[in-house]
């Protein structure tokens, strides 16, 4: 069977800067969390080539974001199912826009359910905040009912997914919001500054007691 490498997706380009920002958030946070792992492939707007008929008809699908677990983490020009041991994405996220929403809710949902057998499929609109999570149960995708906090549990990642401040973000199983790399650096700096101030207060108290802290 011929390879699909080098073929371009016919998916529409992102229509809003919010879409690019949202993809950056989802990609960078997970890559940061899994930086020590080499058993997954995470990509955005990359072709998933899945059959000879699809290759001939040039009916290519490039999900906005997809994750495949249990594979080598290396660059690929496309995801060719028959060259990857028959593996399909374990998780797909589509960002809705005016031109793609109908396809994402209908045609793509059917493809991901019937052909890809995708365990989890989420779609989200950065503009309207529409958010739906689907999980494969038996032969059909069924909606993941959100709790009051609007989280949706993602078994594939072992994380929650929710919408704080109108952005799709990851949450730890405890419900704590996963910080961005920048937020994590700020938290670490604040912790170090608190420790420095605590040490300084302790040293001052020792000096008041006539003890030189530098000799301890």
Residue 63's domain is classified under what CATH number? 3.90.1570.20
Choice among 117-126, 127-136, 180-189 with the minimum mean pLDDT: 180-189
167 and 192 housed in the same domain: no
Tokens 């229509």 belong to: 15
Q: What is the mean pLDDT of residues 114-128?
A: 94
106 and 174 housed in the same domain: yes
152 and 111 housed in the same domain: yes
51 and 105 housed in the same domain: yes
Judging by DSSP bridges, how do beta strands 159-162 and 91-95 pair with one another? unpaired
The whole domain housing 203 covers 184-215
How far apart are the C-alpha atoms of 23 and 178, rounded to whole Å? 16
Domain presence at residue 107: yes
Count structural domains, the chain: 2
115 and 211 housed in the same domain: no
- Would you state the structure tokens that stand for residue 180, as one six-digit string? 């961005």
Question: pTM (2 decimals)?
Answer: 0.76
- Would you state the structure tokens that stand for residue 32, as one six-digit string? 């940061």
Q: What would the pLDDT profile of 56-94 be if each residue is shown by its tens digit?
A: 666 667 899 999 999 999 999 999 999 999 999 999 999
- Would you state the structure tokens that stand for residue 6, as one six-digit string? 């080098």
Q: What is the mean pLDDT of residues 22-40?
A: 90
98 and 74 housed in the same domain: yes
How far apart are the C-alpha atoms of 81 and 78, rounded to whole Å? 9
152 and 194 housed in the same domain: no
Q: What would the pLDDT profile of 192-212 be if each residue is shown by its tens digit?
A: 556 666 767 776 776 777 777
Judging by DSSP bridges, how do beta strands 48-49 and 79-80 pair with one another? parallel
Q: What is the mean pLDDT of residues 40-68?
A: 83
138 and 205 housed in the same domain: no
| pLDDT band at residue 215 using 50, 70 and 90 as cut-offs | confident
Q: Is the pLDDT of residue 152 over 60?
A: yes
CA torsion, ordered 183, 16, 109, 113, to nearest 10 deg = -40
35 and 142 housed in the same domain: yes
128 and 191 housed in the same domain: no
First to last CA, the chain: 73
């Amino acid at each position: 069977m011929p390879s699909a490498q080098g073929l371009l997706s016919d998916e529409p380009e992102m229509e809003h800067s919010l879409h690019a920002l949202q993809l950056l958030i989802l990609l960078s946070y997970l890559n940061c969390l899994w930086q020590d792992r080499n058993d997954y492939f995470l990509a955005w707007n990359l072709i998933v080539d899945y059959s000879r008929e699809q290759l001939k008809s040039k009916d290519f699908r490039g999900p906005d974001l997809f994750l495949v677990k249990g594979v080598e983490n290396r660059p690929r020009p496309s995801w060719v199912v028959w060259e990857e041991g028959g593996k399909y994405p374990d998780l797909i996220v589509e960002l809705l826009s005016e031109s793609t929403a109908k396809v994402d809710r209908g045609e793509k949902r059917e493809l991901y359910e019937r052909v890809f057998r995708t365990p989890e499929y989420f779609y989200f609109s950065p503009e309207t905040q529409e958010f739906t999570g689907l999980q494969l149960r038996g032969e059909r995708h069924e909606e993941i009912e959100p709790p009051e906090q609007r989280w949706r549990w993602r078994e594939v990642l072992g994380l929650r997914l929710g919408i704080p401040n109108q952005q799709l973000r990851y949450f730890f199983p405890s419900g704590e919001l996963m910080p961005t790399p920048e937020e994590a650096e700020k938290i670490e700096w604040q912790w170090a500054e608190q420790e420095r101030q605590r040490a300084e207060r302790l040293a001052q108290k020792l000096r008041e007691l006539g003890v030189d802290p530098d000799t301890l």
